Structure 1
């Protein structure tokens, strides 16, 4: 068996997005807790609880935005998007696409569908996203030959 073009296991994720979003989410929760404590006395307990719940809800959305990643190992690829994740065997992936203007890479699958791979996105830098998509494409081609 030949050596894969990229050393696996490998994970592609928009790290800068995570570095920004995780502290912002913590700050949101802390801010809403402080706001709930500083509300005027005329506000009731349920109002304060809803204020804190709003902060937790906003932080939850931020954490969902920080979730995307694409991981490859010897058996296949795991695509984790905002809400769902999917495990794919190498044979299920026909092609990796990352066309000019696309916000993220897409995987054409053997069943005729396509799957967004949001973990490889142009928002972190176009050159890096292109390199990541090419690395995944090379892995797909390598495993198609094996």
Structure 2
């Protein structure tokens, strides 16, 4: 095997739609803030801030499209939402997907583990295929 790259599927389809919806809702709310019969006075800055909150929430939703796993002969790189880790195969004790877990994980020495958000249970068949390929690489490079 050369290089294996795995990314989640469903979240990469859902997150952009959610991001657009968040921006749209907060822009509409921001526009409607100027005409409230409550007696409260909202300025243009408040309306812009409401749209800005929508953009910030959309950016947060798009962060869920970042997870990726990249494995090669030297080791495995796990990029989750914020942090990226690189492990040589010698440190990876096991690749597993615990029952009821949302994503796979790499078992490391001293009872530590790293979640692999790129392999998600919601991806069903894609996750099964990804686990088979990753376990095959683990078996090949940890001999």
**TM-score > 0.5 by shorter chain:** yes
1:22 to 3, 12, 16: 16
Give the equivalent residue in structure 2 for 1:56: 55
- Paired with 1:121 and 1:21, the residues of 2 have a C-alpha distance of 14
User: What are the ranges of 5 or more consecutive residues in structure 1 without an aligned counterpart?
Assistant: none
1:131 to 122, 125, 129: 129
Give the equivalent residue in structure 2 for 1:113: 112
Could you tell me the TM-score, scaled by structure 1's length?
A: 0.80
- State the shift of 1:78 in Å: 1.4
User: What are the ranges of 5 or more consecutive residues in structure 2 without an aligned counterpart?
Assistant: 36-40
1:63-142 map, 5 Å: 63-110=62-109, 112-125=111-124, 127-142=125-140
Question: Does the CA-based 8 Å contact 2:7-2:69 persist in structure 1?
Answer: yes
- Paired with 1:73 and 1:22, the residues of 2 have a C-alpha distance of 30
Q: Size of the alignment, in residue pairs?
A: 138
2:27 to 26, 33, 50: 33
- State the shift of 1:55 in Å: 0.4
Please give the secondary structure, in 2, of the residue aligned with 1:56.
Answer: helix
Asked which structure has the greater CA Rg, the reply is 2
Question: Does the CA-based 8 Å contact 1:98-1:130 persist in structure 2?
Answer: no
